[in-house]
C-alpha cells in the first residue's frame, strides 16, 4: 500500500523537496492533497504532475483560476483557511507534512492529529507556540509526531530505545553573520540576511537563521519533541553543517548524525520511518570535509537566542508571544521597515507588554497571537522600541 501524503505548503522550499521525494518513490508514496497560500501557478503545475485527490489554495482570490486550470482533471479544488484545516482530515491520508510557515500551521496540525494522522513536522512554529497542547493532543489520539527539521531528525535518528537522553547538542550554522561584530550588525540588509551559507530555504526561516531565532525556536521544539528540560539542551555553532545534531548519554557517549545538507533526507525519513529507503544525491565525502569546527554561540550579538531561552524558561504563552512578535518583525525587516537589531528590541518589549498566561488554552493562544501582532506592529510603525 502506498502511503497517502498531504502536504501543507507544497509550493515552498520543504514542499517542493517533499514532492521530489515522492517523485523518486512512486511505488511508496502518493500525494493525496497539495496546498499553498498564494502561488497558484506552481500549485497548478504540481497538481497536473502529481494528480492529487484535492488541492487547496489558502487565498480565496485565487480559487477561480485554480479551478479553471484543473477543470479537465478529477481533482477537487478548495480555497480558504477553513478548507485547508479540514482537508487533512480526509480518510485515506496517512501522513500530513506540515510544511507551511508560521503560526498558521497550528490549526491544521491540531486537526490532523485529531483525525489520527501521522505528523511529519516541518512547521516548527506550531511546537514553539503550543508544544504542550500539541503533545497532549498527540498523546490522546496516539499520533506520532516525526521531526523533519534537520537537527531534530538527526536527534531522532540518534535515540536509543532503552536509554534516556542525557543531553541534546543542537548544531547551528551561525548563519551569514556569524563573524560580524555588533557594530556591523547594525547596518546589515535583508539582501545580506537572505544569503544563507549552507541551506536554501524560505525567506522567513532564512531571516530567522541569520538572527539565530531559528536556533532558539529549535531549542523549544527539541524540548517538546524529546521531553527534555531546557538545561539539557545545548547549542553549538558548527559552520560546516555536516554534523546535523548530537545526543549525549549518561556514560558520556555522544552519537551524531552526519550528512550533506539536503532536506530531502529528513523529509524522506519521516515518510519511510522506521525504515530507510534509498535516496539519490550527493554523499558525504570525508576527504573533502577535513575541517569540522565547533564554537559557542554569542547571545550578546544574537539576542534572539537568549530571548527564546527566556521564553522557554517562563513557559505559558511566552513562546507564543515571541513567535508572533518575531513573525511581525521578520515581515517588516523583509519590507525594509525595521533594522536587523531592531527586530530583537521589538520582541523583547513585546514580551513585557503582552499579558502572561501560565496555562493557556487553545483560545488563549489565538488571542495572544492576535494581540501580540497588534502590539508589535504598532511598535514597528511608531518606532517605539
Annotated binding site for Mn(2+): 149, 151, 218
Which residue, 104 or 308, has its beta carbon nearer to ligand NAD? 104
Residues that bind ligand NAD (CB under 6 A): 9-15, 36-39, 58, 84, 99-101, 104, 122-125, 149, 199, 201-202, 204-205, 263
Binding-site partner at residue 153 among Mg ion, ligand NAD, none, CB < 5 to 8 Å by type = none
- d(C-alpha 149, C-alpha 263), whole Å: 8
100's contact among ligand NAD, Mg ion, none, with CB below 5 to 8 A by partner kind, is ligand NAD
* Closest residue to ligand NAD using C-beta atoms: 12
Q: From CA 198, how far away is CA 240, in angstroms rounded?
A: 8
The annotated binding site for 1-deoxy-D-xylulose 5-phosphate is made up of 124, 150-151, 173, 196, 209, 214-215, 218
Q: Which conformational region is residue 102 in: left (phi greater than 0), alpha (psi within -120 to 50 degrees), or beta?
A: left
Least Å from the CB of residue 383 to Mg ion: 32
The answer to whether residue 149 forms part of the interface with Mg ion (CB under 5 A) is yes
For residue 263, CA distances in Å to 59, 207, 364, 368 come to: 27, 18, 34, 32
Contact 32, 93 (CB under 8 A): yes
We find the least distance from the C-beta atom of residue 259 to ligand NAD, in angstroms, to be: 14
Task: Please report, to the nearest 10 degrees, the dihedral formed by the alpha carbons of residues 124, 125, 129, 130 taken in order.
Answer: -40
Which of ligand NAD, Mg ion, none has residue 15 at its interface (CB below 5 to 8 Å by kind)?
A: ligand NAD
CB of 150 to Mg ion, least distance (A): 5
| One-character DSSP codes across 211-248 | HTHHHHHHHHHHHHHHT--GGGEEEEE-TT--EEEEEE
* Distance from C-alpha of 369 to C-alpha of 324, rounded to nearest angstrom: 6
Gap between the Cα atoms of 122 and 311, Å rounded:
21
- Closest contact distance (angstroms) between CB of 287 and ligand NAD is 27
Please give the Cα distance from 223 to 314 (Å, whole number): 13
Choice between 214 and 350, CB closer to Mg ion:
214
Relative orientation angle of helices 318-334 and 362-382, to the nearest 10 degrees: 40
Closest contact distance (angstroms) between CB of 14 and ligand NAD is 4
Q: Which does 225 bind (CB under 5 to 8 A by kind): ligand NAD, Mg ion, none?
A: none
Q: Would you put residue 337 in left (φ > 0), alpha (ψ -120 to 50) or beta? A: alpha
Show binding-site residues.
11-14, 123-125, 149-151, 173, 196, 202, 209, 214-215, 218
Q: Are 167 and 257 in contact (CB under 8 A)?
A: no
Q: Which residue has the cell 549552507?
A: 198
The answer to whether 208 contacts Mg ion (rule: CB under 5 A) is no
- Stretch 151-170: interaction string toward Mg ion, x if CB under 5 A: x-------------------
CB of 60 to ligand NAD, least distance (A): 12
Whole-angstrom distance, CA of residue 280 vs CA of residue 265: 10
Beta carbon nearer to Mg ion, 263 or 376: 263
Q: How far is the CB of 218 from ligand NAD (least distance, A)?
A: 9
Q: Mark the binding-site residues for NADPH, compressed into ranges.
A: 11-14, 123, 125, 202
In the bound state with ligand NAD, the residue whose beta carbon lies nearer, of 121 and 246, is 121
Give the residue with the Cβ less far from ligand NAD, 129 or 384: 129
Give the binding-site size for Mg ion (rule: CB under 5 A).
3
Q: Candidates 54-62, 126-134, 142-150, 344-352: pick the segment binding Mg ion (CB under 5 A).
A: 142-150
Going edge to edge, which strands form the sheet with 254-258? 233-237, 167-172, 243-248, 254-258
| Residues of this chain that bind Mg ion (CB under 5 A) | 149-151
Amino acid at each position: 500500500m502506498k502511503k497517502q501524503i498531504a502536504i501543507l505548503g507544497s509550493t515552498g522550499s520543504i514542499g517542493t523537496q517533499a514532492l521530489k521525494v515522492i517523485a523518486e518513490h512512486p511505488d511508496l508514496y502518493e500525494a493525496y492533497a497539495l496546498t499553498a497560500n498564494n502561488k497558484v501557478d506552481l500549485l497548478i503545475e504540481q497538481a497536473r504532475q502529481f494528480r492529487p485527490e484535492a488541492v487547496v489554495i489558502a487565498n480565496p482570490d485565487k480559487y477561480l483560476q485554480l479551478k479553471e486550470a484543473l477543470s479537465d482533471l478529477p481533482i477537487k479544488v478548495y480555497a480558504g483557511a477553513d478548507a485547508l484545516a479540514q482537508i487533512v482530515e480526509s480518510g485515506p491520508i496517512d501522513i500530513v507534512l506540515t510544511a507551511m510557515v508560521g503560526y498558521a500551521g497550528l490549526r491544521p496540525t491540531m486537526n490532523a492529529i485529531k483525525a489520527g494522522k501521522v505528523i511529519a513536522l516541518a512547521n516548527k512554529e506550531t511546537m514553539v507556540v503550543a508544544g504542550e497542547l500539541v503533545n497532549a493532543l498527540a498523546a490522546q489520539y496516539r499520533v506520532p509526531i516525526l521531526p523533519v527539521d534537520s537537527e531534530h531528525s538527526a536527534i531522532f535518528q540518534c535515540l536509543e530505545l532503552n536509554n534516556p537522553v542525557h543531553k541534546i547538542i543542537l548544531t547551528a550554522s551561525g548563519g551569514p553573520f556569524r563573524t560580524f561584530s555588533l557594530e556591523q550588525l547594525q547596518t546589515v540588509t535583508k539582501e545580506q540576511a537572505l544569503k544563507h551559507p549552507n541551506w536554501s530555504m524560505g525567506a522567513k526561516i532564512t531571516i530567522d537563521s541569520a538572527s539565530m531565532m531559528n536556533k532558539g525556536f529549535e531549542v523549544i521544539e527539541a524540548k517538546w519533541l524529546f521531553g527534555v528540560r531546557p538545561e539539557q539542551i545545548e547549542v553549538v555553532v558548527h559552520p560546516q553543517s555536516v554534523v546535523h545534531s548530537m545526543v549525549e548519554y549518561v556514560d558520556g557517549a555522544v552519537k551524531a548524525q552526519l550528512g550533506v545538507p539536503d532536506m530531502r533526507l529528513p523529509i524522506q525519513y519521516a515518510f519511510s520511518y522506521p525504515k530507510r529507503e534509498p535516496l539519490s544525491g550527493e554523499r558525504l565525502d570525508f576527504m573533502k570535509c577535513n575541517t569540522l569546527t565547533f564554537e559557542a554561540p554569542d547571545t550578546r550579538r544574537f539576542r534572539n537566542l537568549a530571548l527564546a531561552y527566556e521564553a522557554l524558561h517562563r513557559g505559558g504563552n511566552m513562546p507564543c508571544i515571541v513567535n508572533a512578535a518575531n513573525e511581525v518583525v521578520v515581515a517588516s525587516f523583509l519590507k525594509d521597515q525595521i533594522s536587523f537589531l531592531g527586530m530583537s528590541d521589538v520582541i523583547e518589549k513585546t514580551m513585557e507588554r503582552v499579558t502572561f498566561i501560565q496555562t493557556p488554552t487553545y483560545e488563549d493562544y489565538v488571542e495572544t497571537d492576535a494581540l501580540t501582532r497588534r502590539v508589535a506592529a504598532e511598535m514597528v510603525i511608531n518606532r517605539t522600541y
